Amino acid sequence: MSSAVTAVKNDVIAAIEANVGIAQTDLAQQIGVELNFDRQSLQLLDHFLSHSGGLDPETQESLVDIIGSFVGQLLVQQFDGRWVITQQQLAVQLNHGEAVLPFAAVLIQMAEPSPTQHQGQNHLEALYQRADTA
């Protein structure tokens, strides 16, 4: 993305951190996995999201917030990124300057679980790959 970015306010960062905590405790326990800030956790979440069809809108929105926060924070930690607002969306700006949209990636993975559009990778793993190869 080549749009202007603005800093994220502390209350938004606090909400992201709370969602990350929920992902690593409640969600991880519910789906029977351990979530760390690594590629394997993204693969586990990709698999979970691929099989999460038929959720009510409230549950889907909650999962997008929780998993999007976790994915974004993983990118912040793994690739020296930072949370920003770009194009009126919460994003992670990677150390090379590109901004990625973890919440959008989660929503897309829920709607389109097929990995065929990303050279055999699911959406979250493709996001990680973009960050890793930049």
| DSSP state, residue 100 | E
| Percent of the residues in the chain that have a pLDDT greater than 70, as a whole number | 90
Decide: pTM greater than 0.85: yes
DSSP H helices in 32-98:
39-50, 57-78
Position 3 scores a pLDDT of 59
What letter represents residue 134's amino acid?
A
Spell out the domains of the chain, with CATH numbers in brackets.
5-133 (1.20.120)
User: In the structure encoding, which two tokens stand for residue 9, read together?
Assistant: 């306010």
For 75-108, the pLDDT digits (tens) are 999 999 999 999 889 999 998 888 999 999 999 8
